[in-house]
A and B are shown apart, each in its own frame.
Chain A
């Protein structure tokens, strides 16, 4: 085991663990945000640069600080390493800069975006963004396109995390979409408008940190915070059938995989609980599911408001306003 200090929290982890995963083992607010890294997708990470941290001491043996900020998702810890995340002014400043870079070409169309409320970019902008933009140039625009019958690609919102590409590589029999072109013209595309049609392709929607890939069976149906997410299961031989059904009254509006506090699909019985397209798109009847109970929602999430008959502070405060 190696010992690493992250923001004054001392953690012991297996050798080879990355700084980010070490922080996640400890939990709490020392965990850097990650827009592209996804622990269940091999090869992911390193690209978005939001998880940059300062290494104040490289290791016990060589305690020199690292000159540049490093991507915590792809830098392994060393014994005696000292990492600064929320306690570093430099990290704070540069994370703000990365947020600005991610937003300059973003359409900021949250009011009409299905991802709003569960969008990682929204969270990041809330924590590290500025209320004003310094970007005066025309933004990149693309027409939203269908990639397959069930997925809408809205390239304007994409942050090029490559997660969906890894899903194509690692979950599907064949990959038909990828990143085309390069530089600021890089985009997710099928090049010739091939449709993505594969048993597990729907997981691209779940791994997308923003609203670039959305579920066409749910598009514009409801804001997520009006829905009640319930853990549910079904007898599915393809995927195991552990999912979350998002309900309004007795109706199921959409089905997603079960996700953990970092927005990643949960590991259930030692396996990543990806769900198949049949569970995701074709089982919208309550009778097809065994509904287990409410999904745990972080109290800071907008989704938690007004749910499960808890007292709603928002409603209370409006009363006071009268």
Chain B
């Protein structure tokens, strides 16, 4: 049984409500921080914990905090990124829906550390029902003196608000999120300046993922030293994994980083293997943007070592034979799934979600989608496969924000590991058109 830091009390009836949450040790981190620690000490504790950002990029949270500019007389903001939209990822929603006070507690402790007196949670518009839950919880927190003026008599004031998006994956990119929070189109900003210097309303801002902010609560409660004992040397703590696809028991699990991938997929406590007695064909371990792994590279690395659920082990082998932990969106494909169709599906996603601001992404994602659509529908040729490889190399690294990379990597990895399947679609156009789904493929383009 792995240790649970975030979801320890998830099954307690009524944990959504303030009273039950408080009775199970809720808001202790706020008490500890505001009464016994200086803001700087909280920052240092988080730095010491080596917590890596849980949104996908894995940038150390404490380091991000330490970059925050602190000019006199200018407000600073903490913004929580709850725009969870990466295909295969639904852990933040689970956390906010089931135990909303954990996020609010994390926001208070973190805002105190950063010296922010107003903080915002930006949540994707489709999660409007979660926004209602959060606003209710925030009202409870105000009513019980955890938000507002002079919290716990410490002299520290904090207001916390939730704002919805309107349906745009790109708003998960932190500068696009800030644009959206300012009521504009979600076009990522040019960097520099970084949000730590010029963020929301032109003021210094930290943007953190929901799970990262929630993780601050146990870090303060148990201390960084204890937190470091959990997980592996390079991946401290626990991580929420969203498991989906052809699994017996998909869902959100909190794992100690360093659990073996095999145990996670087949273990009784976790996903319990592949659904319908089938075999595993491939796996995307960190959300749709990370490279896909073929069956022989999932539980073992290319050198035959056991693969673990950790930042370092999942990326073992680089892009040639590894992948990334990313957001922890763990998508499993059974033996009947068509990689070409899936690659096209994700390419369509990225083309649909491109903001259209910079040319390589605007034009390149659409181009890849169209070529993949043809291949998948039996109208491709061998040249198209090479073309795809060339297009994605020219998108990668040339765009304003990481969406270009996120669109390019899955295509590159799918061709790298499943080239034969792409070629099969060219040589067997008729079967390509009808395989897998029993229904004639009439999927829509954009």
Q: In the complex where A47-B358, A183-B355, A184-B356 touch, is A105 in contact with B399 (Cβ < 8 A)?
A: no
Q: Report chain A residues within 8 Å CB of B356.
A: 160, 179, 181-186
Stretch in A80-88, A94-102, A220-228 touching the partner: A94-102
Interface set, chain B 264-293, CB cutoff 8 A to A: none
Q: Report chain A residues within 8 Å CB of B363.
A: 101-102, 104-105, 184
Q: Report chain B residues within 8 Å CB of A100.
A: 394
On whether the beta carbons of A179 and B185 are closer than 8 Å, the reply is: yes
Q: Report chain A residues within 8 Å CB of B351.
A: 183-184
On whether the beta carbons of A46 and B355 are closer than 8 Å, the reply is: no
Tell me if A159 counts as interface (CB < 8 A to partner B).
Answer: yes
Residue of B nearest to A104 (CB): B363
On whether the beta carbons of A46 and B358 are closer than 8 Å, the reply is: yes
A136 to chain B, nearest CB (A): 8
Q: Report chain B residues within 8 Å CB of A45.
A: 190
Interface set, chain A 117-160, CB cutoff 8 A to B: 134-135, 137, 159-160
Interface set, chain A 163-221, CB cutoff 8 A to B: 179, 181-186
Tell me if A240 counts as interface (CB < 8 A to partner B).
Answer: no
Q: In the complex where A47-B400, A71-B190, A137-B370 touch, is A182 in contact with B359 (Cβ < 8 A)?
A: no
Q: In the complex where A68-B397, A97-B394, A159-B359 touch, is A183 in contact with B352 (Cβ < 8 A)?
A: yes
B33 to chain A, nearest CB (A): 35
Q: Report chain A residues within 8 Å CB of B352.
A: 183
Complex Cα–Cα for A182 and B167 (A): 12
How many residues of chain B have a CB within 8 Å of chain A?
29
Residue of A nearest to B381 (CB): A136
Q: Report chain A residues within 8 Å CB of B400.
A: 46-47, 49, 71
Q: Report chain B residues within 8 Å CB of A94.
A: 394, 398
| Interface 1/0 per residue, B166-200 and A, CB below 8 Å | 00100000000000000001000010100000000
Residue of B nearest to A140 (CB): B366
How many residues of chain A have a CB within 8 Å of chain B?
34
Complex Cα–Cα for A63 and B190 (A): 23
Tell me if A74 counts as interface (CB < 8 A to partner B).
Answer: yes
Q: Report chain A residues within 8 Å CB of B190.
A: 45-46, 71, 74
Q: Which of A69, A74, A185 contacts B398 (CB 8 A)?
A: A69
Q: Report chain A residues within 8 Å CB of B100.
A: none
Tell me if B218 counts as interface (CB < 8 A to partner A).
Answer: no
Complex Cα–Cα for A75 and B190 (A): 9
Q: In the complex where A76-B192, A135-B367, A137-B370 touch, is A52 in contact with B398 (Cβ < 8 A)?
A: yes
Tell me if B354 counts as interface (CB < 8 A to partner A).
Answer: yes
Tell me if A48 counts as interface (CB < 8 A to partner B).
Answer: yes
B272 to chain A, nearest CB (A): 39
| Interface 1/0 per residue, B381-410 and A, CB below 8 Å | 000000100000010011110000000000
Q: In the complex where A52-B398, A68-B397, A182-B185 touch, is A101 in contact with B355 (Cβ < 8 A)?
A: no
Q: In the complex where A104-B367, A137-B370 touch, is A97 in contact with B360 (Cβ < 8 A)?
A: yes
Complex Cα–Cα for A162 and B400 (A): 15
B446 to chain A, nearest CB (A): 8
| Interface 1/0 per residue, B332-356 and A, CB below 8 Å | 0000000000000000000111111
Complex Cα–Cα for A101 and B357 (A): 13
Q: Report chain B residues within 8 Å CB of A98.
A: 359-360, 394, 398
Complex Cα–Cα for A69 and B400 (A): 11
Residue of B nearest to A48 (CB): B359
On whether the beta carbons of B399 and A49 are closer than 8 Å, the reply is: yes
Complex Cα–Cα for A186 and B359 (A): 11
Complex Cα–Cα for A74 and B185 (A): 20
B193 to chain A, nearest CB (A): 10
On whether the beta carbons of A184 and B359 are closer than 8 Å, the reply is: no
Q: In the complex where A71-B190, A97-B394, A184-B366 touch, is A49 in contact with B355 (Cβ < 8 A)?
A: no
Complex Cα–Cα for A183 and B353 (A): 7
Tell me if B377 counts as interface (CB < 8 A to partner A).
Answer: no
On whether the beta carbons of A49 and B360 are closer than 8 Å, the reply is: yes
Q: In the complex where A45-B190, A47-B400, A94-B394 touch, is A183 in contact with B358 (Cβ < 8 A)?
A: no
B392 to chain A, nearest CB (A): 11
Tell me if B76 counts as interface (CB < 8 A to partner A).
Answer: no
Residue of B nearest to A50 (CB): B359
A56 to chain B, nearest CB (A): 16
Complex Cα–Cα for A48 and B190 (A): 12
Complex Cα–Cα for A181 and B367 (A): 18
Q: Report chain B residues within 8 Å CB of A186.
A: 355-357, 362
Q: Report chain B residues within 8 Å CB of A75.
A: 192
Complex Cα–Cα for A181 and B353 (A): 11
A274 to chain B, nearest CB (A): 24
Q: Report chain A residues within 8 Å CB of B398.
A: 49, 52, 68-69, 94, 97-98
Additional pairs, 15, CB under 8 Å, beyond known A46-B400, A49-B358: A47-B358, A71-B190, A71-B400, A98-B360, A101-B367, A104-B367, A105-B363, A137-B367, A160-B356, A182-B356, A183-B353, A183-B355, A183-B362, A184-B356, A186-B356
What are the 7 A-B residue pairs with the smallest beta carbon separation, nearest first?
Answer: A186-B356, A97-B394, A184-B366, A101-B363, A46-B190, A183-B354, A137-B370
List the interface of chain B (C-beta within 8 A of A). Answer: 168, 185, 190, 192, 351-360, 362-367, 370-371, 387, 394, 397-400, 446
Name 14 A/B residue pairs within 8 A (Cβ), A-sorted.
Answer: A47-B359, A48-B358, A48-B359, A49-B359, A68-B398, A94-B394, A98-B360, A101-B360, A137-B370, A159-B359, A160-B357, A162-B357, A184-B351, A185-B356
